[in-house]
């Protein structure tokens, strides 16, 4: 059934608005950019979800990335049930935490020790604190269009110029909290060079999404990540890869294995929790030994390493070791993006797509998309029309042109074919908008 009936979602949204800001518990779930009301989801299985009105959708959000095996995967549910029978939380060490740490360290050669936390925001915030602690420096360099959670120092608006001091991107964030945040353009090494020249011996670290996933899906240009590694080495700064989105999503060892770059610290989330709240940050033994209680850089969390989340994470990472897992995932993503490109080309519609592993993006723009300013050239009225028609046809996409999409193991060739069939009509509708 297509997503045309919305009476129950409308009623649920109205009730939510009375008690929840904006009716949603995360802004990315809102439909403000596309119109209409968010669909209230009742259940999921495989690559499909059903809303409270009974509408069925092929899901390309996957809880914003964690569900690489699909919804309600039997192996994950079994692991959670086994852990649940023993207790939900202890606030004490468990052997399963060590087992998960071992799997992470084996997959990522740059990570010798890892600390579990409960969210990506915690992971990035903690990694930056560690970088500042070990370097004795205060400034942090980030890139326009890269999102690293909502901690004050990283929640900055788009800067003007090549490398700028960050300005607060939200009321409630004191300007003093972002004065030590430096911004440069994504894929712009020259901007990074200028930042180091302007603030010599002051920048503690560079934090970067090795594949940007919050301005669509934007891969690094050739030499960008290599250049960041070299500039950090030259200037005594640490390189932090925010792989909350890309970790175990684009390759088993994340983007760092894909591009053969060794960061000093890595932030993980989403897939490592298998759909439950879990994240982590890690690096070399020398760096991680500076974290309390081994060292003086303090970080703690009551629910860190929660047994249910660890169980889900373990089941997920074990499943990823299946031979051919990532080649199949990549093939599905490529089939989808190639199909979308062919439809747009046939219609003479400016359009660009990209896919890497189980991650993809598209834009109503001729491309290439290499920066946030490029991403902002997307034809938003066409995107809104396309999104609406896809939703009506039973295809669930992110309600924003600035979010990456995700393929799971449970997406089959028939699901891609059905998606492209709906997309052809949606593209034709979008093409009528000038």
Question: What residues act catalytically?
Answer: 147, 242, 270
Burial degree of 131 (CB within 10 A; 0-12, 13-18, 19+): buried
Cβ neighbour number for residue 78 with a 10 Å cutoff: 12
Strand order in the sheet with 41-45: 41-45, 48-51, 56-59, 395-396
**Contact status, residue 71 vs residue 49, Cβ threshold 8 Å:** yes
List of residues 6+ apart from 204 with CB closer than 8 A: 128, 131, 132, 135, 137, 138, 139, 140, 237, 238
Q: Please calculate the CA angle 195-200-204 and round it to the nearest 5 degrees.
A: 80
335: three-class secondary structure by DSSP = helix
409: left (phi over 0), alpha (psi -120 to 50) or beta: alpha
Task: At 175, list the tokens.
Answer: 């300007």
Q: Please calculate the CA angle 174-178-184 and round it to the nearest 5 degrees.
A: 150
Burial degree of 222 (CB within 10 A; 0-12, 13-18, 19+): exposed
**Contact status, residue 117 vs residue 304, Cβ threshold 8 Å:** yes
Spatial separation of the C-alpha atoms in residues 242 and 11, rounded to whole Å: 38
Task: At 58, list the tokens.
Answer: 């092929």
**Contact status, residue 396 vs residue 247, Cβ threshold 8 Å:** no
Spatial separation of the C-alpha atoms in residues 221 and 230, rounded to whole Å: 15
Task: At 237, list the tokens.
Answer: 């700064």
């Amino acid at each position: 059934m297509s997503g045309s009936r919305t009476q129950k979602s409308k009623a649920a949204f109205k009730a939510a608005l009375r008690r929840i800001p904006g009716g949603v518990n995360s802004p990315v779930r809102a439909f403000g950019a596309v119109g209409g009301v968010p669909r209230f989801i009742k259940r999921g299985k495989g690559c499909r979800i059903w809303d409270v009105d009974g509408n069925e959708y092929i899901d390309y959000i996957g809880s914003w990335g964690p569900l690489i095996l699909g919804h309600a995967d039997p192996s994950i549910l079994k692991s959670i049930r086994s852990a649940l029978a023993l207790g939900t939380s202890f606030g004490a060490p468990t052997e399963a935490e060590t087992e998960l740490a071992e799997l992470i360290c084996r997959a990522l050669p740059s990570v010798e020790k890892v600390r579990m936390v409960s969210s990506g925001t915690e992971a990035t915030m903690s990694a930056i604190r560690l970088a500042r602690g070990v370097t004795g420096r205060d400034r942090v360099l980030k890139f326009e269009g890269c999102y690293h959670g909502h901690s004050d120092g990283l929640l900055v608006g788009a800067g003007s110029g090549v490398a700028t001091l960050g300005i607060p991107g939200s009321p409630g964030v004191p300007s003093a909290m972002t004065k030590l945040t430096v911004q440069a353009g994504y894929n712009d090494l020259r901007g990074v060079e200028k930042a180091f020249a302007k603030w010599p011996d002051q920048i503690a670290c560079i934090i970067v999404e090795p594949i940007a996933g919050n301005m669509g899906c934007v891969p690094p240009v050739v030499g960008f990540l290599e250049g960041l590694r070299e500039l950090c080495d030259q200037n005594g700064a640490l390189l932090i890869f925010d792989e909350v989105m890309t970790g175990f999503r684009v390759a088993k060892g994340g983007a760092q294995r894909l591009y053969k770059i060794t960061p000093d610290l890595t932030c993980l989330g989403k897939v490592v929790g298998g759909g439950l709240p879990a994240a982590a940050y890690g690096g070399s033994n020398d760096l991680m030994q500076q974290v309390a209680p081994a060292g003086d850089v303090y970080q703690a969390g009551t629910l860190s390493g929660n047994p249910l989340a660890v169980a889900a994470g373990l089941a997920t990472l074990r499943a990823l070791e299946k031979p051919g897992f990532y080649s199949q995932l990549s093939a599905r993503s490529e089939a989808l993006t190639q199909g979308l490109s062919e439809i747009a080309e046939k219609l003479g519609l400016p359009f660009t797509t990209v896919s890497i592993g189980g991650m993809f993006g598209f834009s109503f723009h001729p491309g290439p998309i290499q920066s946030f300013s490029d991403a902002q050239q997307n034809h938003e009225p066409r995107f809104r029309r396309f999104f609406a028609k896809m939703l009506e046809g039973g295809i669930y996409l992110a309600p924003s042109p600035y979010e990456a999409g995700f393929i799971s193991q449970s997406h089959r060739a028939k699901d891609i074919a059905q998606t492209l069939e709906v997309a052809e009509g949606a593209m034709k509708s979008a093409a009528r908008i000038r």
